A and B are shown apart, each in its own frame.
Chain A
Amino acid sequence: MNSFTPSALAGLALLPLGYSQVAGSPHEGNAKVDLLIADSHYQAGKPIRAAVRMSYDPGYHGYWINPGEGGMKTEVKWNLPDGWSASELSFPAPQREVTGNLSSYAYHGEVLLPFELTASADASGEVRIVGELSWLACNDKGCVPGDAVLSVTLHSGASSTSTQQEHKLIDLAWSQIPEKDPLWEVNIDDRDGSLHFTIHAKSDNATTLEGAEIFPIDEQIIDPSSAVLIEIGDGVGKNFKASAKRSEYAPKEITSLKFIVKSDKLKRPILIEWKKK
């Protein structure tokens, strides 16, 4: 167990579940944050699942990978031992949030952003993983920046069961991350100031997308000021359609769009990477 000096205690923003620590930060950011790790033991060359857990104060919201209007994406700068790597943070589906006259893609309450750490091929002994997390939390009165230093100490060895609880939370977080599904075929027609989506399921047994919502991962293509909701489409088979107003900052020609489809009826959101033929 670590022994905490009074000043170290003062610096802790949240008591963590496992081995990770959070250091006090110059900016509170109206959120409690911590680092979850699926295993306190690593094996050289192998990945370890992890997640940044954020809990925004009531009334405040944080932002998705595409924050929409205003806002700022949550980012982390890792300080890793030589040869170690960390994947980008993954983001579960957001909700549309209108504050004043700005529409953004946001999170309320708790959100887990999973990622993977990979140990170097020659990793050994005790290693310390450190990351500087920065985010923005806003309410209808204004915005507050947040910074925190997240860290965890790992040891070489067989999988440890001491982080079982975190392991479950992290796996659950991964299960909510949008994933590609070859079942769906998408076409986008750019005309009259809007993007017209047609989505076709290759199987008639596919879950309905009626009522589902489209969120663009790419910024400045779709105008966030109205929700993009999917309706039943035309033609034989399971077809769906939606239209989204073009962002005023979109280029003349839109040749690709990365977006997600979110619905309570789906096990997890669908990730679609459309490219113009």
Chain B
Amino acid sequence: MCDLPTQHKHNVIQQQTKSTPMMTAKNMFTAMVSAISISISANAAEVGKAAPDFSAKDAKGVDVSLSALKGKVVVLEWVNHECPFVVKHYGSKNMQKLQQTYTAKGVVWITINSGSKASGSYTDDATFIKMSEEKGSKASHLIGDESGAIGKAYDAKVTPHMFVIDAKGVLAYNGAIDSKKSTDTADLAGAENYIAKALDTVLADKPVETAKTEPYGCGVKY
């Protein structure tokens, strides 16, 4: 159990249970009911400050806790596979290449699906996971955030919205994946690659110059 100094939020998230014929009803229930806990600080998600902590189970049932990842560089990638801006990055394999390149350098890449069922545009976790896998996601973890708790803690506004947290747990980048607000894959080549630049800089233990940009994409529906 975690001891958090500030607010707790416990939410049920749906877990995709991989085929495990030996799972009893009780085990399935335990796997299904999980707690997402986050600490909401007054200045959530501010570059230069400690990134809001959270813990959740990923698609494989593995516990992911930001505070436990200290010592690693972490990327948070907000996704919606039906958003044309996300399709630009996944259809072209740009996102998967970034995931592959940086996880190979020891970065922990967390892809998050935030949204509320009530919004009518919600992608349920099973679909989110299936689509991510079909597209060859190379993320370290896929996290379903149906309550939107993690998204709200970071004020994730659109998809894609990218955050980089350095090895000390400080938010080093908050913003767009690149500089060209378009749905056209032809625009990838000429765009300034903010996320790659931020990651290269943080991995080299240097301060990020372009640390905050306006993210583009489809609204996250809380």
Q: Which of A's residues lie within 8 Å of B, judged by CB?
A: 27, 67, 69-70, 72-73, 99-102, 134, 136, 138, 140-145, 219-220, 247-249
Give which listed residue, A101, A143, A247, contacts B218 with CB less than 8 A: A143
**Alpha-carbon distance A214/B71, docked complex (angstroms):** 48
Chain B's closest residue to A135 (CB) is B183
- Chain A contact residues, majority secondary structure: loop
Question: Which residues of chain B are within 8 angstroms of A73 by Cβ–Cβ distance?
Answer: 181
Are A136 and B157 closer than 8 Å at their CB atoms?
no
Q: Which of B's residues lie within 8 Å of A, judged by CB?
A: 80, 82-85, 119-121, 157-158, 181-184, 212-214, 216-222
Are A142 and B218 closer than 8 Å at their CB atoms?
yes
Closest beta carbon of chain A to B170's beta carbon, Å: 19
Q: List 28 A-B contacts (CB under 8 A).
A: A67-B181, A69-B219, A70-B158, A70-B217, A72-B182, A72-B183, A99-B219, A100-B119, A100-B222, A101-B222, A102-B157, A102-B219, A138-B219, A140-B119, A140-B120, A140-B121, A141-B120, A141-B121, A141-B221, A142-B80, A142-B121, A143-B85, A143-B218, A144-B84, A145-B84, A219-B214, A220-B214, A249-B214
Q: Which 9 residue pairs of A and B lie closest in terms of their CB atoms, listed nearest first? A: A141-B121, A145-B84, A102-B219, A145-B183, A100-B219, A249-B214, A143-B218, A100-B221, A142-B121
Are B219 and A134 closer than 8 Å at their CB atoms?
no
| Count, A-B residue pairs, CB within 8 A | 63
Are B157 and A134 closer than 8 Å at their CB atoms?
no
Question: Which residues of chain B are within 8 angstroms of A99 by Cβ–Cβ distance?
Answer: 219
Question: Which residues of chain A are within 8 angstroms of B80 by Cβ–Cβ distance?
Answer: 142
Are A70 and B121 closer than 8 Å at their CB atoms?
no
Closest beta carbon of chain A to B43's beta carbon, Å: 13
If A100-B221, A142-B121 touch, whether A249 touches B213 (CB-CB below 8 Å) is yes
Are A69 and B157 closer than 8 Å at their CB atoms?
yes
Closest beta carbon of chain B to A28's beta carbon, Å: 12
Most chain B C-beta atoms within 10 Å of own C-beta, residue among A69, A73, A247: A69
Question: Which residues of chain A are within 8 angstroms of B213 by Cβ–Cβ distance?
Answer: 249
Question: Which residues of chain B are within 8 angstroms of A143 by Cβ–Cβ distance?
Answer: 83-85, 218
Closest beta carbon of chain B to A32's beta carbon, Å: 19
Chain B's closest residue to A73 (CB) is B181
Are A72 and B181 closer than 8 Å at their CB atoms?
yes
Are A72 and B222 closer than 8 Å at their CB atoms?
no
Give which listed residue, B120, B181, B182, B219, contacts A101 with CB less than 8 A: B219
Question: Which residues of chain B are within 8 angstroms of A67 by Cβ–Cβ distance?
Answer: 181
Question: Which residues of chain B are within 8 angstroms of A220 by Cβ–Cβ distance?
Answer: 214
Closest beta carbon of chain A to B173's beta carbon, Å: 14
Question: Which residues of chain A are within 8 angstroms of B119 by Cβ–Cβ distance?
Answer: 100, 140-141
Chain A's closest residue to B84 (CB) is A145
Give which listed residue, A72, A101, A144, contacts B157 with CB less than 8 A: A101
